[in-house]
Amino acid sequence: MQFRAQILSTEEQSRIHEQSLRILESVGLRFHGHKALPILRRYGAQVDEESKIVKIPRALVEQALAAAPKSVMLGARNPRYNHPLPSTEPRYCMDGTAAFAQDFETGERRYGTRKDIENGMRIFQELDLGVMAWPPVTASDAPAGSRALHEFLTMAQFCSKHGQHELHTSRQVPYLVEGLTAILGGEDEFRQRKAYSLIYCPVAPLTHDGEMLDAYLELGEFEMPVMIMPMPVPGSTGPASLFANLSLANAEALSSIVVFQLAHPGRPLIYSSAVGTLDFSSGGFLGGTAEMGLMSGALTEIGHFYNLPTTSAGCTADAKEPGAQAVLEKLITIIPPLLARSDIIVGFGEIEGDQLQVLEQYIVDNEIAHHCQRLFEGIDTAPEKELFEDIARVGPGGHFLTTQASRRAPRSGEFYISKLLDRHTREAWLELGKPSLYTNARQKVQEILASPQVDPLTDKVIGQIEAILNKADKELT
């Protein structure tokens, strides 16, 4: 029996849906840009041209939800890593576009670079529970006008799993299409395999970024999936209660679903969220709180309420350095969406409110995920697990060490055996130099980075990517 949890009752999910519809119909959202307003007006939404505020009737929401696919295959550069949504079991994505990286050699906290993206990709490639890659840091060494392209294509070069990132303007679209087409071997492959998708975050509260939205609507011609990720924070960019914040986040998600489905009916969309909480003493953002985990789990249930592929943020931490606080915060933010059956949980590899990449943290987070996965799997109650004959044979005062079931147990999958935690005797632990979770993770990072890259691109394709980026640097800067 799988271990499940319910955060919102069916009646409470319906209340959030109704409150979100009320927001859409009576408050509305502001849509910047050139493409969305004509589409919404054409289908009957109430559009104020001067304020750019759009009020969306219930019927358009229902139409969009009916058109949105209820499943999608997230392809990958290496088809071995294709991943279906909904997932049979929760899986994981790395966190992305942090401002800073912790230098693996010096420990220095510095701005992220393309090399940090490369290193993060190579480690994530090896994580068995990781299925979707993000560029982990902002590439501060790339020109601002083409930076998103450097991040996107570096991710695609050094990881062959499904990749997801964002664009900032329509001017970047042709370069991305050319680059991903080169990597996948043709425009038809790009369209059909869906090896790459887009992250779309409405601007809380109730606003849509015009340049990004225009670019994403343009990419709808290539059927590129979009993960919709509202990010309101209670008390600052969202209303100051968890329940009200869920309604606002859901309204932003529904408005995004409406415009994407009206523009390209049947385009694959993923319902997601990355809400956080407010540090009421400083006004800062917090991502490693119990409330964040609860909201992520609750919005996972809302995504299921609409029968959509559903992901969420989780495994997040505000700790300033790797260690006990980071592990604690990642646990409390991973468990609610996990038990609510989020298809993919986004958060591997970063701390400090999603702003610091730490290479060892990828390994640690994959280990945390394994332990949480074991909780999710629950207890096997099949008849063959009763083992009554063993109990009768051993009887009072005996032991079960020599039974066949005990000999099979380590390979049965019922008992998770960690390769990262230290469980030696104290004497052996001292002799080994007191290994810890993070020192073992560091050793694993060293082994990965010293090994050849998995699934490298050909020199020809790498040359094409470099030429595309050089052209973008000149023309977009």
Could you give all domains of the chain from N- to C-terminal order, each with its CATH number? 65-377 (3.20.20.480)
Name 397's Cβ contacts closer than 8 Å, sequence gap at least 6: none
Radius of gyration for the alpha carbons in the chain, expressed in angstroms and rounded: 24
User: What does pTM read for this prediction?
Assistant: 0.96
The reported pLDDT for the residue numbered 213 is 98
pLDDT in tens, 281-308: 999 999 999 999 999 999 999 999 999 9
Cα gap 317→348, rounded to integer Å: 10
Long-range contacts formed by 444-448: CB under 8 A, 24+ apart: 444/363, 444/420, 445/104, 445/123, 445/359, 445/360, 445/362, 445/363, 448/122, 448/123, 448/126
Does residue 69 have a cis bond before it (omega within 30 degrees)?
A: no
The reported pLDDT for the residue numbered 2 is 76
Cα gap 224→196, rounded to integer Å: 7
Write phi, then psi, for 194 (nearest 5 degrees): 50, 45
Which DSSP string corresponds to 275-295? --EE-TTT--EE-SSHHHHHH
Average pLDDT of the residues of the chain: 97
Is 357 in contact with 318 (CB distance < 8 Å)?
no
Max Cα distance, the chain (Å):
83
Is 270 in contact with 309 (CB distance < 8 Å)?
yes
The reported pLDDT for the residue numbered 5 is 86
Instruction: Identify any residues that bridge with 198 across adjacent strands, giving them in sequence order.
Output: 165, 226
DSSP class of 313: E
The reported pLDDT for the residue numbered 4 is 81
Pairing of strands 29-31, 207-208: parallel
| Regions of the chain with pLDDT less than 50 | none
117 closest CA partner among 144, 174, 80, 155? 155
Q: Measured between alpha carbons, how far is residue 22 from residues 157, 197, 211 in Å? A: 44, 30, 27
Sheet with strand 207-208: strands edge to edge = 46-48, 53-55, 29-31, 207-208
The reported pLDDT for the residue numbered 134 is 98
Name 22's Cβ contacts closer than 8 Å, sequence gap at least 6: none
